[in-house]
């Protein structure tokens, strides 16, 4: 007998955040995903081992490749992004590395927004060069800038919709169109927005990347990264992606896109890039991040509410020169934010203090409740002066271009009582002003 009373609507985001990828353990009934703290897995017999190594059977061999706790996390994030497959790894930077490793050959290039996380700019402009991979940075304000930078060796477009640190919103849809016309994937670093605020695949992106270290984990305890694929990109439409469309000699001539179809990219990223480069995610960290994601929607709602209050407070403060938060009507990105991030534009943004570099340093040195450190997306409110820290490797021109000029302070508004956050900022700003006047 079938039960006709069952509800067949697709589950909502909050339900997915809790249940996707996390069914009870088959052997023990454990309701939460166990931490499979093991490096290896016993084979049934030699044939089973052979079929696992040939990727003919789904299963576990060695935790550098796959681990059940990590797999549960991959499934959860893929579901939240409305994607088809995912590969989790040890950090956001490792995720960027794995994605590019599948796409690029020596001599290839990709086009990236110049408004990126400072570490990504450094990774793309210096470290990737050692692989003979090249990145052309463009101003993301005009989609045509991306088109103009594409040549026959371009393998991807990379951007952040909600860009760190400037509070900038990038117009995703027309840029996805440029990538589509060029036959290359659009990769979105969705760390700042999280899939609760923006789902890049709904706007035509093909891969999304997260530093799970930030809002997904949400508690500042665990590093992690993930690459998610939409499953909609046709890797065989041209000859740009031989890693997916040509037989792989390291797997007896297996062709990943032909064999695994809409999760061919993530399978290749695991079976080759993760296996050979090695940045596996620790099962304990996967567990911590899984637990964090369960409360992502309620945390993000409060992050947004507090961020809006802090932005409005700063906008009216005499020590503050400007505030760049797309939730403010004064922001040039307010309309784009309503389109791409209808719930709100996150809780990380920048503001400028009167008095430049010196005043910026004074503010971050005088906060008490807020923590002066290089992270974001924690339950705690965090503050940093990018020009003297995260963006100090960049030239002053690069700093200004990426929204990290000398007077800029970045804040990641946490979940503390709002009056306490405002009071701490008020005393720190007041002290900096007083020092500047001395
Ligand atoms: C933190 C961050 C990264 C890098 O992630 P890690 O986990 O620190 O390696 C990449 N992109 C953005 C937007 C980030 O905030």
Q: What is the pLDDT of residues 383-399, one digit of tens each?
A: 999 988 888 877 888 88
Q: Does ligand 1 come within 6 angstroms of the Cβ of 92?
A: yes
Q: Which two tokens stand for residue 149?
A: 């930078």
Q: Which atom of ligand 1 is nearest to the CA of 96?
A: 10
Q: What is the pLDDT of residues 407-420, one digit of tens each?
A: 999 999 999 999 99
Q: Does ligand 1 come within 6 angstroms of the Cβ of 189?
A: yes
Q: Does ligand 1 come within 6 angstroms of the Cβ of 192?
A: yes
**In the predicted model, what is the mean pLDDT of residues 127-152?**
97
Residue 281 belongs to some domain of the structure: yes
Question: Which one of 240, 274, 292 terminates a domain?
Answer: 292
Q: Are residues 267 and 302 in the same domain?
A: no
Question: Which one of 230, 261, 292 terminates a domain?
Answer: 292
- Minimum mean pLDDT range among 48-52, 212-216, 319-323, 432-436: 432-436
Domain tally for the chain? Answer: 2
Q: Are residues 273 and 308 in the same domain?
A: no
Q: Is the dihedral of CA 180, 183, 189, 190 positive or negative?
A: positive
Q: Does ligand 1 come within 6 angstroms of the Cβ of 378?
A: no
Of residues 277 and 374, more confidence is placed in: 277
Helices then strands (H, E): number in the chain? 18, 14
Q: What is the pLDDT of residues 54-87, one digit of tens each?
A: 898 889 999 999 999 999 999 999 999 999 999 9
Residue nearest to atom 11 of ligand 1 (CA): 117
Q: Are residues 173 and 273 in the same domain?
A: yes
Q: What is the pLDDT of residues 170-207, one digit of tens each?
A: 999 999 999 999 999 999 999 999 999 999 999 999 99
Residue 7 belongs to some domain of the structure: no
Q: What is the pLDDT of residues 133-144, one digit of tens each?
A: 999 999 999 999
* Interval between CA 390 and ligand 1 midpoint (Å): 11
**In the predicted model, what is the mean pLDDT of residues 15-42?**
95
**In the predicted model, what is the mean pLDDT of residues 218-244?**
97
Q: Are residues 308 and 280 in the same domain?
A: no
Q: Are residues 246 and 361 in the same domain?
A: no
Q: Flag whether pLDDT at 1 surpasses 60.
A: no
Task: Give the per-residue pLDDT at 395.
Answer: 84
Q: Are residues 288 and 315 in the same domain?
A: no
Q: Which two tokens stand for residue 333?
A: 């990105």
Q: Are residues 284 and 303 in the same domain?
A: no
Q: Are residues 87 and 234 in the same domain?
A: yes
Least Cα distance to 345 among 328, 322, 332, 330 occurs for 328
Q: Does ligand 1 come within 6 angstroms of the Cβ of 190?
A: no
For tokens 């000859």, what's the residue? Answer: 239
* Interval between CA 95 and ligand 1 midpoint (Å): 9
Q: Does ligand 1 come within 6 angstroms of the Cβ of 210?
A: no
Residue nearest to atom 12 of ligand 1 (CA): 117
Q: Does ligand 1 come within 6 angstroms of the Cβ of 209?
A: no
Which of 116, 120, 285 most suits a substitution to test ligand 1, by most atoms within 8 Å of the C-beta?
A: 120
Domain harbouring 377, CATH code? 3.90.1150.10
3-state helix, strand, coil in the chain (%, to 5): 45, 15, 40
By percentage, how much of the chain surpasses pLDDT 90?
A: 85
Residue 381 belongs to some domain of the structure: yes
Of residues 143 and 404, more confidence is placed in: 143
Residue 69 belongs to some domain of the structure: yes
C-alpha 390/C-alpha 211 separation (Å) is: 16
Q: Flag whether pLDDT at 217 surpasses 70.
A: yes
How many other C-beta atoms lie within 10 A of the C-beta of residue 26?
7
Q: Are residues 171 and 194 in the same domain?
A: yes
Q: Does ligand 1 come within 6 angstroms of the Cβ of 407?
A: no
Residue nearest to atom 1 of ligand 1 (CA): 211
Q: What is the pLDDT of residues 272-329, one digit of tens each?
A: 999 999 999 999 999 999 999 999 999 999 999 999 999 999 999 999 999 999 999 9
Residue 424 belongs to some domain of the structure: yes
Residue 5 belongs to some domain of the structure: no
Beta bridge partners of 40: 62
Q: Are residues 288 and 382 in the same domain?
A: no
pLDDT band at 2 (very low <50, low <70, confident <90, very high): low
Residue 6 belongs to some domain of the structure: no
Which of 214, 285, 349 most suits a substitution to test ligand 1, by most atoms within 8 Å of the C-beta?
A: 214
Instruction: Give the distance between the most distant pair of CA atoms in the chain.
Output: 82
C-alpha 273/C-alpha 299 separation (Å) is: 33
Range of the domain at 176: 13-292
CA dihedral 139, 145, 150, 151 (to 10 degrees): -110
C-alpha 272/C-alpha 210 separation (Å) is: 20
Q: Are residues 43 and 87 in the same domain?
A: yes
Residue 112 belongs to some domain of the structure: yes
Domain harbouring 139, CATH code? 3.40.640.10
Task: Give the per-residue pLDDT at 297.
Answer: 98
Q: Are residues 173 and 109 in the same domain?
A: yes
* Interval between CA 209 and ligand 1 midpoint (Å): 9
Q: What is the pLDDT of residues 240-286, one digit of tens each?
A: 999 999 999 989 899 999 999 999 999 999 999 999 999 999 999 99
Q: Flag whether pLDDT at 24 surpasses 90.
A: yes
Full DSSP string of 239-252: SS-HHHHS-BGGGT
Q: Which residues contact 406 (CB under 8 A, 6 or more apart)?
A: 356, 357, 360, 387, 396, 399
Question: Which one of 262, 292, 322 terminates a domain?
Answer: 292
Give the pairing of strands 186-189 and 162-163. unpaired
* Interval between CA 107 and ligand 1 midpoint (Å): 25
């Amino acid at each position: 007998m079938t039960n006709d009373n069952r509800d067949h609507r697709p589950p909502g985001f909050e339900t997915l955040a809790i249940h996707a990828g996390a069914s009870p353990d088959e052997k023990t009934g454990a309701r939460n995903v166990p931490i499979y703290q093991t490096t290896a897995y016993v084979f049934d017999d030699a044939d089973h081992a052979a079929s696992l190594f040939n990727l003919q059977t789904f299963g576990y061999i060695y935790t550098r490749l796959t681990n059940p706790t990590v797999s549960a996390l991959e499934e959860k994030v893929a579901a939240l992004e409305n994607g088809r497959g995912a590969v989790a790894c040890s950090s956001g930077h490792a995720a960027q590395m794995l994605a590019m490793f599948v796409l690029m050959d020596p001599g290839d290039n990709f086009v990236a927004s110049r408004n990126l996380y400072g570490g990504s700019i450094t990774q793309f402009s210096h470290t990737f060069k050692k692989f003979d991979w090249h990145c052309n940075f463009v101003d993301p304000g005009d989609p045509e800038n991306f088109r103009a930078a594409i040549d026959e060796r371009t393998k991807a477009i990379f951007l952040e919709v909600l860009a760190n640190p400037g509070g900038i919103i990038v117009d995703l849809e027309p840029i996805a169109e440029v990538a589509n016309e060029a036959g290359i994937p659009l990769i979105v670093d969705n760390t700042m927005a999280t899939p609760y605020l923006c789902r890049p695949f709904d706007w035509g992106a093909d891969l999304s990347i997260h530093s799970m270290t930030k809002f997904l984990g949400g508690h500042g305890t665990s590093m992690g990264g993930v690459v998610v694929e939409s499953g909609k990109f046709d890797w065989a439409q041209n000859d740009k992606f031989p890693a997916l469309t040509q037989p792989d000699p390291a797997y007896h001539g297996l062709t990943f896109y032909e064999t695994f179809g809409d999760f061919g990219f993530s399978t290749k990223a695991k079976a080759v890039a993760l296996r050979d480069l090695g940045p596996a995610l620790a099962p304990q960290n996967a567990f911590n991040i899984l637990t964090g994601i369960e409360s992502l929607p309620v945390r993000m709602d409060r992050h947004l509410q507090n961020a809006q209050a802090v932005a409005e407070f700063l906008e009216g403060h005499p020590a503050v020169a400007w505030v760049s938060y797309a939730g403010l009507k004064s922001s040039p990105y307010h309309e784009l934010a309503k389109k791409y991030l209808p719930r709100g534009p996150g809780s990380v943004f920048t503001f400028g203090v009167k008095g430049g570099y010196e005043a910026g340093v004074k503010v971050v040195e005088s906060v008490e409740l807020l923590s002066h450190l290089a992270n974001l997306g924690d339950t705690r409110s965090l503050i940093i002066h990018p020009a003297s820290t995260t963006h100090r490797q960049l030239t002053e021109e690069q700093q200004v271009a990426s929204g990290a000029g000398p007077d800029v302070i970045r804040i990641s508004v946490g979940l503390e009582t709002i009056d306490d956050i405002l009071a701490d900022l008020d005393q720190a700003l007041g002290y900096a002003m007083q020092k500047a006047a001395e």
